[in-house]
Structure 1
Amino acid sequence: MKSQNTIKTKQLIFITATNTDVGKSYACEQFLKRYANMGYKVGYFKPIETGVITLPADGSKLLNLTKTLNPSFDVEINDVVPYQFKLPAAPFVAKKEHNIDIAFLKQKVAYLHTFCDVLIVEGAGGLMVPIEKEYFMIDLIKELKCKAILIAPSHLGSINDTLLSIEALKHRNIPFEWYINLYKDKGSFNEVTLPFYEAYFNKVHYLGEWD
């Protein structure tokens, strides 16, 4: 267990993925638990959630978990998910006539960080999902000055998406780690996809399997 007295700097971590339906919310859950087990006070923020009918499903679930892990994270769902849109689409499309204020999101980050040591931020879709016509999820990561955690799937064809996402993060000089969410094509992953990753990278990391 990590002593609270050893914590000197706050951390801001952005969970992103190679695409939608790759496991960002599951990854947020894993990292929230990981840091809480290390003795950190954790917090959660999902700037934009689409496909919201009544309450944001992902945001509500992760907020409840965060409050269990860190009871001092005394905030409301509208603080954690400030932009909620009904249409299940990219934010640029789902927001319709509404404006997404990046300065406002930065203020929310600063506010939420007062309740925690490590703030986990969950993106929407992949890195190049548009928030505005010429402003993408990767631009938000850069502007918030986050470390990125890239989640990659395990299905056939995922190598291309993973490498493109890594190149995009490198191009913008965004510090990152990447993890494989081993949940699709599990039976064939070791034969079809893993050999390239082992040849190309020094080490392969799996979501939930920590060093």
Structure 2
Amino acid sequence: MKKQVFVSGIGTGIGKTFCSALLVKLWQADYWKPIQSGDLDMTDSMTVRELVEDEVTIFPERYRLNTAASPHESARIDGVEIKLNDFQLPYSPNNLVVEGVGGLYVPINEDKFIIDLIKHLNLPVVLVVKDYLGCINHSILSIKALESNNIVLDTVVFNGPFSSATERVIRRHLPEEVACLNIPWLHK
């Protein structure tokens, strides 16, 4: 059965792109980043292409915004309006990894957030977590937000070294069926 997931995180800069590349390689999947906000000279799609090295389909971003800011602000600066109906999953006969922007409540417009895009695309989530002061709170809030929106949490990736006390608390708040993956620190 074909696997399709949406990679999100508990924040920005915690390793979603590198984890996405790892999943693309592991699952021999294609890749799509619906919104690239800033860094157009070295996009996340370009990074995945470099890291994977295999022949993989990387679908073009639906929005390529110039300013490194939340998509709603970048779109405003670029004179663009982002709507949920603008997004449709690209057709792929392979597994597909979709990478989000920042965390679940990053706004894509004045009313909608990344979590709304996940619901619209109807994908289970791979949640990337990094150990830092506040990550327990951010992780459990993300887990609860997914639950309250009836979004399936497929996997939690513990990215980098974790305090056993921190990891233990986060794992205790995961549904039983959620897979966990511990990997060495992968940034970006």
Q: TM-score, normalised by structure 2?
A: 0.83
The whole-number CA distance in structure 1 between the counterparts of 2:112 and 2:99 is 17
The whole-number CA distance in structure 2 between the counterparts of 1:166 and 1:197 is 9
Output aligned runs, 1:75-154, within 5 Å.
79-96=59-76, 97-106=79-88, 109-111=89-91, 113=92, 116-154=93-131
SS of the aligned residue for 1:163 comes to helix
SS of the aligned residue for 2:101 comes to coil
Paired AA for residue 61 in structure 1: T
- CA deviations on 1:117-156 (whole Å, 9 max, x unpaired) are 2110000000000001111000100110101101111122
Contact map agreement 2:131 2:166 (CA 8 A) in 1? yes
The whole-number CA distance in structure 1 between the counterparts of 2:168 and 2:124 is 28
Contact map agreement 1:33 1:69 (CA 8 A) in 2? no
Show the counterpart of 1:58: 44
- Whether 2:170 is the aligned partner of 1:205: answer no
Show the counterpart of 1:180: 158
The whole-number CA distance in structure 1 between the counterparts of 2:65 and 2:171 is 40
Paired AA for residue 137 in structure 1: I
Deviates more, 1:87-96 or 1:58-67: 58-67
Q: Percent identity of the aligned residues?
A: 27
Bigger helix share = 1
- Whether 2:40 is the aligned partner of 1:22: answer no
Name stretches of at least 5 consecutive residues in structure 2 with no aligned partner.
Answer: none
CA drift at 1:102: 3.0
Paired AA for residue 193 in structure 1: T
The whole-number CA distance in structure 2 between the counterparts of 1:197 and 1:135 is 27
CA drift at 1:198: 5.5
Paired AA for residue 180 in structure 1: F
Greater Rg by CA: 1
- CA deviations on 1:45-101 (whole Å, 9 max, x unpaired) are 001111234x3421112135557243xx3x6xxx42231112111100111120224
Root mean square deviation of aligned Cα: 2.4
CA drift at 1:13: 0.6
CA drift at 1:22: 1.0
Contact map agreement 1:11 1:118 (CA 8 A) in 2? yes
Bigger strand share = 2
Contact map agreement 1:44 1:80 (CA 8 A) in 2? no
- CA deviations on 1:155-193 (whole Å, 9 max, x unpaired) are 22210000000000000111112121125xx5xx23x52
